[in-house]
Copies of this chain bind each other. A is one copy, B any other.
Amino acid sequence: MMRVPYAELLETLQSALLKLGIERRRGELCARLFAESSRDGVYSHGLNRFPLFISMARSGVVDIHAEPAPLASAGPMERWDGKTGVGNLNAHRCMERAIALAHEHGLGCVALANTNHWMRGGTYGWQAADAGVLGICWTNTCPNLPPWGASEPRVGNNPLVIAVPRASGHVVLDMAVSQFSYGALASYRARGELLPVEGGFDTAGRLTRVPGDIENSKRPLPIGYWKGSGLALMMDLVAGILAGGWTTHQIPAQPERETRLSQVFLAFDPQRLRPGTSASDIAEEVIQHFRGPGPGEDGPVRYPGERVLATRHENLEKGVPVDPSIWRQVQDLAA
């Protein structure tokens, strides 16, 4: 592991994108969203995912020139076509639009079809909270998780993001409905560690904490077993129906071909219905109670987003940790 200054990371990603031929303003934003993911400690969807993104742009799965556009509108609710463009740019544009609709109507909803992997979902939660509104968004994915009772992947791990603005640090939940991502399983395996809790089945159908056994069986667990399985189905249904886009079973299961995702972006402006009320003050009070009197037997109770903020500060100060071989690869793309 080595550390690279944030500005250097950002600039390198930007150069690589401009070399690819993306329009400058779009390339700058796309690079920033990738760089911020690594800066915030979500390494799997920052620099580490960048080479796959580039190869998908080259293969044409991602159209780097396509701009998302509205297809239909009904006041606070809009349906957009992502035109298989850049996933993080499409998602950022749609949350931006949902925020504008929320300022106008109290709440706003944009349903987006035909888009690509949005990379780090939390990006759009922080975006909403930075704008002073509450944000909820989710995406479907390719089939990568067996429903409860099945052994083949037939639902997606469909990340869900919920964000509430708070002056001393936004509260942002960014979770997939699988208990552990394949990236997390690989990390535990590489460190020679067991999972902290059961994470899936082995090939014999037994629940296990051995990460490699789950990678082999391709049977990770949904959160809450049958509950997360049902939740994944509902998120796919609502996204597909509202966006008029593909549902999980239609999406190619190979990472490098995963495309035409459906996503939902909701924003709520609490000021519209409660002028003068501070969402931040309420969040502050609730977080104090959530944390409780002090560290328990298992250490401090952390609220969603707390660790992100701590990592961000550390990485801005010391540099962003990068995998040397991936960093070299991206430097070559930028050169």
Interface positions of A (Cβ within 8 A of B):
72-79, 105-107, 109, 111, 134, 136, 147-152, 154-155, 160, 162, 164, 171, 173, 175, 177, 179, 196-198, 205, 207, 223-225, 227-228, 230-231, 233-238, 240-242, 244, 247-249, 268, 270, 272-274, 277, 279, 282-283, 285-286, 289-290, 292, 296-304
**Complex Cα spacing A303 to B234, Å:** 9
B residues less than 8 Å from A282 (CB atoms): 237, 240-241, 247
B residues less than 8 Å from A289 (CB atoms): 154, 248-249
Contact B290 A155 (CB under 8 A): yes
CB distance from A237 to the nearest CB of B (A): 5
Given contacts A107-B107, A154-B292, contact A233 B304 (CB under 8 A): yes
Contact B297 A205 (CB under 8 A): yes
CB distance from A198 to the nearest CB of B (A): 7
CB distance from A185 to the nearest CB of B (A): 15
B residues less than 8 Å from A223 (CB atoms): 223-225, 227-228
CB distance from A301 to the nearest CB of B (A): 4
**Complex Cα spacing A196 to B198, Å:** 13
B residues less than 8 Å from A231 (CB atoms): 160, 162, 173, 175
B residues less than 8 Å from A205 (CB atoms): 297
Given contacts A233-B286, A237-B164, A237-B283, contact A273 B179 (CB under 8 A): no
Contact B197 A225 (CB under 8 A): yes
B residues less than 8 Å from A148 (CB atoms): 301
Contact B105 A75 (CB under 8 A): yes
